[in-house]
Structure 1
Amino acid sequence: MNFPPRRIAIFGNTYQEEKCKYVERVVNALQVQGAEVVFEQQFLDFILSIRPKNCSKPFDFEGFRAEECNADLAISLGGDGTLLNTAEKVGRRRIPILGVNMGRLGFLADVLPADIEQAMTRVMEGRFSIKERSLIESVVEGPELGIYPFALNEVALLKHDNSSLIEIETTVDGELLTNYLADGLIVCTPTGSTGYSLSVGGPILEPQSATFCLSPVAPHSLTMRPVVLRDDVTIDLRVKSRSGSFLIAIDGRSKSLPVDTQLHLRKADYTLPIVKMHPQDFFFMLREKMMWGKDQRN
């Protein structure tokens, strides 16, 4: 049981109009319960631009800039990608985030559109749990990183599309692990283990496990396999590339860096609170979303 939130900030997907059709349902369900609803300004502008001109009900809400977010709870309307963007905007403010899944698979945004009214009622009654999720901090030696340095899912070092394999010298707490020769390397949190890392053969990690996972992308050697580490280590990375540069992608935000850049990855000094409507739902979600044990022959 949590103290019921009163001021709720709405974030959302600003490039797919069809995913915004549930906004009014969310807002109405919250207002019926007496919540003060405010909108991230960019999302508010998007909503106003796509609302039909013949709508009789005004959409008059306060907008705020992301860097000035002040709320008891943040609601992310979209998929897991939208929730990752919300996490960046909320930062270290310790504002719990609830995801309404209007995307596809969705491991983070787990409230379905059909359950919006019920979920909003439970939120306003404080009937939810909060799970703390760890993040990875990226520290660079060389040029400025230029993008948000904290990753809820993963940090990926990747070759450019038109380049050959890259070599990634990887050390853990100063001890050489290996030199990966591959298309790239993914370093993920337990939260990110069901994302990009999973797609290249990485393991699924329980969200509260204190771990990192290193998963190579299309390695040159078939003996290269994912490695799971404690999350209290520092991972140092140095890239060699014939093209003279490589890509770093932090939760999908990418930047090209020169090969003389040194990267240090470590656990961030803060965690992100994620709202869960069902505290023991991770294994249930795995069974449902991965369709484990289901007969798919029909």
Structure 2
Amino acid sequence: MLRRIAVLYHSLRERAVEEANWIEMQMRSRGVEVAIGNGWDLEVVERLCCDKQLVIALGGDGTIIHIARLAAPLGVPVVGVNLGRVGFLAEMTPSALHDRVDDLVEERFWTEEHTMLDVIHHSGDLVERFLALNEVAVTRGRQMHAVHVMATLDGEQFSTYTADGLLVSTATGSTAYSLAAGGPILYPESRDLLITPVAPHLHIGRSMLVAGDTVVSLSLASDRSGTMSVDGTDERPLIQGDTVEVCRSAIVSKFARFNPRRYFYSAIAARLK
């Protein structure tokens, strides 16, 4: 039985605040300790989630991804309640949440583990580390020209792509930017990685699936500048000589699920009609 949960929301969305207050009241009436706060405040999220059994995230896809990235190192499962267009990460709507309060309290759910990426950005003497849930993108950024991106797999040069960008995605990210770029959909708990070019120029425009333990290194193969983006939020400028190293993280993102394990296939069928 649940004893301690965190409820995190998008503070600028009135519906999210209302639903957060509602679930707080319902949980407290059932004897559950509830901590509630702004899901976009890093300090708040880390403080509220550190000793909780479950996190309820209310907002759009961006909010749910943001909260899931922060909750993952703490090992706390997330229930995504999507207040916008229902995506693949959030199986819950507010009305579904209202019907599942007792299931939450009694822990009648299973945990789905999503692969994450460790990303290391090298730029001169600067070394930065990031944790990604969806993908890492090396793109042309705001420039109008294509970029030349060299991809190295486990230390061996694989190919140089001339494209608007190159993505390294997880199974979670396979239903996001990679899907929009023409990539395939992977099962949520797949541990493999996906390399997908974005609008390739004079190049075979196909995604490639690589083993989950592959280390992928991306760099610019010409003096044209580019941009690195992690989950569409953390961005850094790239110049020739910079490298972006990507590998599967030991950290996984956990999502609490109520529907049967085969839910994903019916979700795909419904969204692709």
2:30 maps to: 33
1:52 maps to: none
Residue type at the aligned position of 1:6: R
Residue type at the aligned position of 2:136: V
Supply the distance in 2 between the matched residues of 1:246 and 1:163 (Cα, whole angstroms).
10
Residue type at the aligned position of 2:272: M
- Of residues 149, 159, 174, the one that matches 2:140 is 159
1:283 maps to: 265
Q: CA deviation at 1:222?
A: 5.1
Matches within 5 A, 1:117-196: 117-143=98-124, 144=126, 149-196=130-177
> Using a 3 Å threshold, how does the CA distance of structure 1 residues 237 and 44 change in structure 2: closer, same or farther?
closer
> Do structure 1's residue 247 and structure 2's residue 227 form an aligned pair?
yes
Instruction: Please tell me whether Structure 1 or Structure 2 has the larger radius of gyration of its CA atoms.
Output: 1
Tell me, which stretches of 5 or more residues in structure 2 are unaligned? none
Supply the distance in 2 between the matched residues of 1:10 and 1:171 (Cα, whole angstroms).
41
Residue type at the aligned position of 2:31: G
1:66 maps to: 45
Supply the distance in 1 between the matched residues of 2:11 and 2:241 (Cα, whole angstroms).
36
Residue type at the aligned position of 1:282: F
1:106 maps to: 87
2:7 maps to: 10
Conserved 8 A contact 1:159-1:165: yes
Question: What CA RMSD, in Å, does the superposition of the two structures yield over aligned residues?
Answer: 2.0
The SS at the match of 1:87 is helix
Conserved 8 A contact 1:190-1:205: yes
2:207 maps to: 226
Supply the distance in 2 between the matched residues of 1:109 and 1:139 (Cα, whole angstroms).
28
Supply the distance in 1 between the matched residues of 2:62 and 2:39 (Cα, whole angstroms).
15
Q: CA deviation at 1:259?
A: 2.6
Supply the distance in 1 between the matched residues of 2:206 and 2:251 (Cα, whole angstroms).
29
> Using a 3 Å threshold, how does the CA distance of structure 1 residues 113 and 184 change in structure 2: closer, same or farther?
same
Give aligned-pair identity as a percent: 30
2:252 maps to: 271
Q: CA deviation at 1:151?
A: 0.7
Supply the distance in 2 between the matched residues of 1:165 and 1:215 (Cα, whole angstroms).
15
Question: How many equivalent pairs are there?
Answer: 267
Supply the distance in 1 between the matched residues of 2:18 and 2:226 (Cα, whole angstroms).
39
The SS at the match of 1:135 is strand
Q: CA deviation at 1:196?
A: 0.7
Q: CA deviation at 1:100?
A: 0.6
Supply the distance in 1 between the matched residues of 2:236 and 2:15 (Cα, whole angstroms).
30
> Using a 3 Å threshold, how does the CA distance of structure 1 residues 22 and 196 change in structure 2: closer, same or farther?
same
Residue type at the aligned position of 2:76: I
The SS at the match of 2:80 is strand
Supply the distance in 2 between the matched residues of 1:17 and 1:255 (Cα, whole angstroms).
32
Give TM-score scaled by structure 1 length.
0.83
Residue type at the aligned position of 2:25: N
Tell me, which stretches of 5 or more residues in structure 1 are unaligned? 46-63, 292-298
Conserved 8 A contact 1:140-1:261: yes
Conserved 8 A contact 2:221-2:240: yes
Give TM-score scaled by structure 2 length.
0.90
Conserved 8 A contact 2:146-2:164: yes
Q: Deviations over 1:179-224 (max 9, x none)?
A: 0000101111011110110001000001122211111011002522
